[in-house]
């Protein structure tokens, strides 16, 4: 209804129970998932009414009233497309988790988890589950061997289970091989100039002469892929995947030039074969070139920021059209938040519909003041006394702090 009743002194009456509040909070990493934080926030709002004096609200607070108010406080799952996205969307929107034995980044088998939403058509995959850098010990990193084959296996498993819509987060990769392994898992075959089929090792990128797609399932053309990509780098060159992100994956300084040339060679053959030209596209260099691979070899692909994809998946904009207040937040609000992290993404969308935006966080830095210029009307830290970080991050403490802080915020609003 977006009536801003909470700003008018004469509005603190029964009609307040029709105020619509949307809660969309990112996870407090190490403490609470997105939905746990959101539910704690909702409880704090309900407590602000239940514990307030009835005369202040000019209403009798009973089970029916509480139910009416509760229906108008909607908790949405939130994530940025990276770690925690699958859990947030499946837990918040309904669905199921699937565990699959796949090929890990080092060629050894790993158990990777993805999710299928309640529509039984949409798969939510984090490539880090199958091909992530955290799956390899730092001393064992080998960019010449690291593969995305397991990601292809996850996609195939989801297709076999009936999925045709995909949300895929590609952050945290251990690879630089332009999706070479993923493509082979999906049926693409690569041959050298003598007609020998090539395996997925990075070095073989330089030997690719021809590409055969006859073994790729036609069902892949029916699939739509929303790729959560917050990286703007092109595929090759000094700003490309090898030079910029390679070192954290084990690429040595003296290897950059040769590895980048292998990537460039593969891109040239791929562009010619697929009649495309995506190597200079913003995001082509994401996840060791996965951005390029998806755009080049798949028909229906969108590379978008993770928060944009998640906001669309949870249909937040639809709920905001008649909302009054939005509560968002994350573990820490700082200068990075203001530069486009999850809470600001929520705030900007909320402002489109004239909502007031409140943010909560485990802690805030002096630079967090920039968030006010990005649509967050006011923000509040939830830590309520001198404590250690370890104590503050204990799940029970974090939950209680959210409930107590939000209760006090909404006592002022009511």
Q: What is the pLDDT of residues 86-100, one digit of tens each?
A: 999 999 999 999 999
Q: What long-range pairs does 139-143 form, CB within 8 A, spacing at least 24?
A: 140/106, 141/174, 141/249, 141/250, 142/106, 142/250, 143/175, 143/176, 143/177, 143/202, 143/246, 143/249, 143/250, 143/251, 143/255, 143/259
Opening angle at CA 329, ends 365 and 5, nearest 5? 115
What DSSP string describes 173-219? B---STTHHHHHHTT-EEE-TTSPBP-S-GGGGGG--EEE-TTS-GG
Residue with tokens 């058509």: 121
Domains of the chain, by residue range, sit at 5-78+315-413, 85-308
CATH class of the domain comprising 5-78+315-413: alpha beta
For 16-42, what is the mean pLDDT? 89
pLDDT in tens, 329-348: 999 999 888 887 899 999 99
Which of 61-70, 127-136, 193-202, 215-224 is the least confident region? 61-70
For 304-332, what is the mean pLDDT? 94
Q: Do domains 5-78+315-413 and 85-308 have the same CATH topology?
A: no
Residue with tokens 């003296």: 254
> How far is C-alpha 5 from the geometric centre of its chain's CA atoms?
34
Dihedral angle of Cα 383, 387, 390, 394, to the nearest 10 degrees: -50
Which of 4-13, 348-357, 389-398 is the least confident region? 4-13
pLDDT at 60 over 70: no
- Rounded CA-CA distance 320/79 in Å is 18
**More confidently predicted of 110 and 70:** 110
- Rounded CA-CA distance 234/204 in Å is 21
* Dihedral over Cα of 317, 98, 330, 25: its sign: positive
pTM, two decimals, is 0.86
Opening angle at CA 393, ends 388 and 397, nearest 5? 95
Which tokens is 124 given? 């939510």
Q: Say what the pLDDT of residue 51 is.
A: 73
Average pLDDT, the chain: 90
Q: Which of 108, 82, 67, 68 is nearest to 27 (CA)?
A: 82
Using CB atoms within 10 A of its CB, is residue 299 exposed (0-12), middle (13-18) or buried (19+)?
A: exposed
With pLDDT > 90 as the criterion, what percentage of the chain qualifies?
80
Confidence tier at 82 by pLDDT (50, 70, 90): confident
Q: Say what the pLDDT of residue 234 is.
A: 97
Q: Say what the pLDDT of residue 11 is.
A: 33
Q: Say what the pLDDT of residue 57 is.
A: 46
For 285-305, what is the mean pLDDT? 96
For 120-140, what is the mean pLDDT? 95
Q: Say what the pLDDT of residue 161 is.
A: 97
pLDDT in tens, 2-27: 444 444 433 333 344 468 999 999 99
Q: Say what the pLDDT of residue 66 is.
A: 55
Q: Say what the pLDDT of residue 185 is.
A: 98
Q: Which CATH number fits domain 85-308: 3.40.640.10, 3.30.1050.10, 3.20.20.70, 3.90.1510.10?
A: 3.90.1510.10
- Rounded CA-CA distance 200/208 in Å is 11
Q: Say what the pLDDT of residue 1 is.
A: 46
* Dihedral over Cα of 60, 64, 68, 69: its sign: positive
Q: Say what the pLDDT of residue 68 is.
A: 64
Q: Say what the pLDDT of residue 14 is.
A: 34
């Amino acid at each position: 209804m977006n009536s801003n009743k909470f700003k008018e002194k004469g509005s603190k009456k029964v009609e307040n129970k029709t105020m619509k509040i949307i809660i969309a909070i990112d996870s407090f990493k190490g403490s609470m998932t997105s939905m746990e934080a959101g539910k704690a926030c909702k409880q704090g709002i309900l407590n602000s009414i239940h514990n307030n004096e009835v005369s202040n609200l000019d209403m009798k607070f009973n089970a029916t009233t509480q139910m009416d108010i509760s229906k108008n406080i909607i908790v949405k799952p939130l994530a940025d497309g990276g770690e925690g996205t699958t859990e947030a969307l499946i837990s918040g929107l309904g669905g199921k988790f699937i565990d699959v034995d796949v090929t890990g980044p080092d060629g050894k088998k790993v158990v990777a988890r993805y999710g299928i939403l309640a529509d039984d058509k949409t798969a939510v995959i984090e490539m880090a589950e199958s091909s992530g850098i955290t799956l390899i010990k730092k001393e064992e990193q080998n960019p010449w061997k690291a593969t995305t084959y397991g990601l292809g296996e996850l996609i195939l498993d989801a297709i076999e289970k009936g999925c045709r819509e995909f949300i895929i987060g590609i952050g945290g990769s251990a690879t630089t091989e332009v999706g070479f392994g993923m493509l082979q898992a999906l049926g693409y075959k690569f041959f050298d100039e003598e007609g020998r089929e090539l395996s997925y090792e990075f070095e073989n990128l330089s030997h690719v002469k021809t590409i055969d797609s006859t073994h790729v399932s036609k069902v892949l053309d029916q699939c739509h892929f929303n790729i959560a990509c917050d990286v703007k780098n092109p595929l090759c060159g000094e700003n490309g995947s090898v030079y910029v992100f390679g070192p954290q994956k084990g690429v040595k300084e003296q290897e950059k030039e040769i590895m980048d040339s292998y990537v460039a060679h593969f891109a040239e053959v791929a562009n010619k074969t697929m009649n495309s030209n995506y190597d200079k596209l913003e995001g082509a260099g994401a996840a060791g070139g996965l951005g390029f691979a998806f755009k080049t070899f798949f028909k229906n692909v969108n590379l978008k920021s993770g928060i944009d994809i998640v906001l669309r998946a949870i249909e937040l904009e639809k709920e905001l059209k008649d909302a009054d207040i939005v509560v968002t937040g994350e573990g820490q609000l700082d200068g990075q938040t203001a530069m486009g992290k999850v809470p600001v993404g929520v705030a900007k969308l909320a402002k489109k519909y004239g909502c007031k935006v409140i943010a909560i966080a485990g802690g805030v830095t002096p630079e967090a003041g920039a968030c006010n210029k990005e649509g967050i009307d006011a923000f509040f830290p939830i830590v309520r006394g001198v404590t250690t970080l370890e104590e503050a991050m204990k799940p029970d403490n974090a939950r209680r702090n959210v409930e107590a802080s939000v209760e006090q915020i909404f006592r002022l609003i009511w």
